Chains A and B, each alone.
Chain A
Amino acid sequence: MIGRRVLAGVGNTVRDYVESVGYATRTFFTMLGLSPGMMRRPHLVIEQLHFIGNYSLLIITLSGLFVGMVLGLQGYYTLNKYGASESLGLLVALGLTRELGPVITGLLFAGRAGTSLTAEIGLMKAGEQLSAMEMMAVNPIQRVLAPRFWAGVIAVPLLASIFSAVGILGGYLVGVGLIGVDAGAFWSQMQGGIDLWKDVGNGFVKSVVFGIAITFIALYQGYETRPTPEDVAGATTRTVVVSSLMIWWLDFMLTALMFSK
């Protein structure tokens, strides 16, 4: 008897999960379908770009600088053992453009902008503003979700590029400025080893994919939250947890696709 109940419980959970994935997919495509209409009012996207792009700039720049500096320091200690400290530039740039730039930017973006998107939309829902829009024949997916989504998709690759570029400068500051690696070797090894399309291009593609995933997860969690204070708080937590796990999983998948031969 208990066995049957447990089995039914498991079945229900799985069914709910699959249903929510299906519903999320449907919302995603509805939003994409409504996007061309939204483009008639580009200021909605510009406003959101300011809100989630400009406000994330400080944390992204500072984090990039420090990550680059740490990479420069740690990379130097390891490379120096093999007498290859000239390759420091290559190590820093390769690590940042391929992996750390897109991934850490994604994680920071989920924490900085993703949570605020979820909380904003969750509170709009709790305040019944979304229902009010529907009453006025305004589609909240088109008016609220779509501009935020496109702003996120545009902002994340730009932020990831800034992160990587500032990180390389941070590595340069530590490696060349503090430790005394030859500046010419730092840049020439980097330029010799980094491929424009394979490394910089694929890193950029990664950040676009992360931007799509994080922004949509944040919007969906806000849109689907129950209108209670507890659940709005829970939804912001879920945004960070789900998008972080999604970033790691997507990163593994994309790396396997891009860099394996």
Chain B
Amino acid sequence: MQRKSLDVWVGLFVVIGVAALMFLALKAGNNSTFSLANTYEITAKFDNIGSLRPQAAVKASGVVVGRVARIAFDDKSYKAAVTLEMDSTYKFPKDSSAKILTAGLLGEQYVGIEAGGDENNLAEGDKIARTQSAAVLEDLINQFIYSKAAEGKD
């Protein structure tokens, strides 16, 4: 009897501990690696990806429709090749465009997809032709300073 109640208490402790770990892994963590949804991969090349990271969200109209799977550097076009893992429940026309956006002022960067008008949809292995790079703060500041300097000369 003594042994039995001890087992119950220890069991309870272990169950609570494992449940807490599951909570951390599934609720707090980025659980997309466990995703069982069907996906198709497409690639997009960007001049500059800013601080985009693997596992960043791919959004269309603010809805998450996929994740960034891999980021590599293409040494033929000298561009960043970003592989996007798209949820197969969402289809996009072949001439859709991709741009790198920032969530809020200090937020994470993500890829935004804007649907085009083509009748055919993007499929596994397709490339997105039209892309827009991340806004790099230094470039924007430089442009601003140059334009101010140019104004001063006139």
Given contacts A54-B10, A97-B24, A158-B17, A191 and B105 within 8 Å (CB-CB)? no
B25 touches A193 (CB 8 A): no
CA separation between A189 and B104, bound complex, in Å? Answer: 11
Given contacts A82-B105, A192-B57, contact A161 B17 (CB under 8 A): yes
Which residue of chain B has its CB nearest to the CB of A61?
A: B16
Give chain A residues whose Cβ lies under 8 Å from the Cβ of B25.
196, 200
* Docked-complex contact B30 and A194, CB < 8 angstroms: yes
B141 within 8 A of A: no
Q: How large is the interface on B (under 10, 10 to 19, 20 to 34, 35 or more residues)?
A: 20 to 34
Q: What is the distance, in angstroms, from A148's C-beta to the closest C-beta of chain B?
A: 14
Task: Produce 1/0 per residue, B17-50, CB < 8 A to A.
Answer: 1111101110111110100000000000000000
List chain B residues, Cβ under 8 A from A93.
28
Q: List the A side residues contacting B140 at CB < 8 Å.
A: none
* CB contact between B17 and one of A82, A159, A199 (< 8 Å): that residue: A159
- Asked whether any CB of chain B lies closer than 8 Å to the CB of A49, the reply is yes
Docked pose: A43 CA to B9 CA in angstroms: 13
Nearest Cβ distance between residue B3 and chain A, in whole angstroms? 7
Q: Quick check: A158 and B10 within 8 Å, CB to CB? A: no
- The answer for the CA separation of A195 and B29 in the assembled complex, in Å, is 6
A49, A155, A161, A196: the one contacting B20 at CB < 8 Å is A161
A57-B16, A82-B106 given as contacts; is B31 within 8 A of A50 (CB)? no
- Tally of A-B Cβ pairs under 8 angstroms: 105
Q: How far is the CA of A81 from the CA of B107 in the complex (A)?
A: 15
> A19-27, A135-143, A163-171: which lies at the B interface?
A163-171
B13 touches A (CB below 8 Å): yes
Bound CA span A46–B28, Å: 30
Q: Is residue A6 contacting chain B, with contact meaning CB distance below 8 A?
A: no
- How many Å lie between the Cα of A159 and that of B106 in the bound state? 33
The distance in angstroms between the C-alpha atoms of A157 and B19, with both chains bound, is: 12
> Can you list 17 residue pairs at the A/B interface with Cβ under 8 Å?
A46-B7, A53-B17, A54-B13, A84-B104, A84-B107, A87-B107, A157-B21, A158-B18, A164-B24, A164-B28, A165-B24, A168-B28, A191-B30, A192-B30, A194-B29, A195-B30, A200-B24
Residues of chain B having any CB pair with chain A under 8 Å: 3, 6-7, 9-10, 12-14, 16-21, 23-25, 27-31, 33, 55-57, 103-108
Known: A195-B55, A196-B33. 4 other contacts (CB 8 A): A47-B6, A53-B14, A54-B12, A87-B106
